[in-house]
Amino acid sequence: MQPLANITPLKPAGAIEVRNVGQIFKTTTQDVVALEDVSLDVKPGRFVVLVGPSGCGKSTLLMMIAGLRQQTSGTITISGAPIPEPDPNRVGVVFQEASLFPWLTAEENVEFPLALRGVTKNDRRARAQDALQLVGLDGFGKRHPHELSGGMKQRVSIARGLVQDPPVLLMDEPFAALDEQTRMTMGDELLRIWAATGKTVVFVTHSLTEAVYLADEVIVMSPRPGRIVDHLQVSLPRPRTYEMLSGDAFGSLRDRIWRHIRKSA
């Protein structure tokens, strides 16, 4: 008989399944329906971008996939199992503001999730070094966040999300606070890291250009109550290049998203 450990799980690591999910915020005066009947399948290793007007609940959806918020109805599974609370072994999260702890150095920030789990100092340091190297910050480990630029802070933040090697990386408008040039560079860097690690990425953004440039698939959401109104496959070849931005294929995809958003605005 086969030992139990050899039985492959029904869902491969990194698959995200969102089934008929709804979210209602209760306030004292009324109930606000933030999300209604959202269903979504993300295959392992895909780069999926959520776009939509402000208040469409895309960040809320991301927080629920991260286990930081529980849905009012429906089910969410990561690698086949529900996520009742945050689990950094399955899901890493990168926030808009780098949200690094200012009193810790870059490497201590990256080590933070490991320290929570009692990983030994040497082991922690080694894994943080690997993660910092992966995001291109070799040699910056001893710096504090205020000594790093905005782009570098987000790199540290990505390293922190990846340090436990989870199959899924969730990113909530990670580059929104960066200037245009840094944003472009960070997009390319993220694609490089994604290609090197093969993670499943779910990425929330306001920028249509960023969405099409990065994604395998773009999910377009409507304003409150948030629903999925379109699901585009971006078939542009990889690696993506700056020249594609001015191509016809790129333009028509971006126009299609924009028409959805303009209609709902």
Partner 1 sequence: MSAATLRRLIVISLIALWEILPRAGFIPELFLPSLSSTLAAGWNEAGEYGHALAVTLYEVAISMAFACGGGILLGAIVGSLPRPRILIMPMVSSLYAVPLVILYPVFTVWLGIGSESKIAFASIYGFLPTMLATAAGIQTIDPQLLLAARSMGATLSQRLVRVIIPAAIPTVLSGLRVGGALVIVGVVVSEMLISSAGIGYLISRYRTILDSPHVFAGVLLVLAMAIAFNAAIKWIERKAAIWQTGTRAGQDAAGEVAPAALQPAT
DSSP H or E run through 77 = strand 73-78
Who contacts 189 (Cβ-Cβ below 8 Å, separation ≥6)?
135, 136, 155
Who contacts 200 (Cβ-Cβ below 8 Å, separation ≥6)?
14, 15, 16, 42, 43, 44, 45, 46, 48, 167, 168, 169
Q: Is 97 in the site for partner 1 (CB under 8 A)?
A: yes
Question: In angstroms, what is the minimal distance from the CB of 97 to partner 1?
Answer: 5
Q: Is 87 in the site for partner 1 (CB under 8 A)?
A: yes
Question: In angstroms, what is the minimal distance from the CB of 117 to partner 1?
Answer: 7
Residue selected from 138, 147, 165, 255 as contacting partner 1 according to rule CB under 8 A: 147
As a dihedral over the C-alpha atoms of residue 204, residue 90, residue 228, residue 175, rounded to 10 degrees, the angle is 0
Dihedral sign computed on CA atoms, order 99, 129, 15, 113: negative
Q: Is 25 in the site for partner 1 (CB under 8 A)?
A: no
CA 91-19-165 angle, 5° bins: 10
Q: Which amino acid is at 22?
A: G
Q: Is 26 in the site for partner 1 (CB under 8 A)?
A: no
User: Which residues, numbered 229-258, are part of the site for partner 1 (CB under 8 A)?
Assistant: none
Contact segment (CB under 8 A) with partner 1 among 39-47, 95-103, 178-186, 200-208 equals 95-103
Question: In angstroms, what is the minimal distance from the CB of 145 to partner 1?
Answer: 6
Ramachandran angles phi, psi of 57, nearest 5°? 90, 15
Q: Is 117 in the site for partner 1 (CB under 8 A)?
A: yes
Question: In angstroms, what is the minimal distance from the CB of 69 to partner 1?
Answer: 10
- Please report, as ranges, the residues that interact with partner 1 according to CB under 8 A: 66, 68, 85-88, 91, 93, 95, 97, 99, 101-103, 112-113, 115-117, 144-147, 160
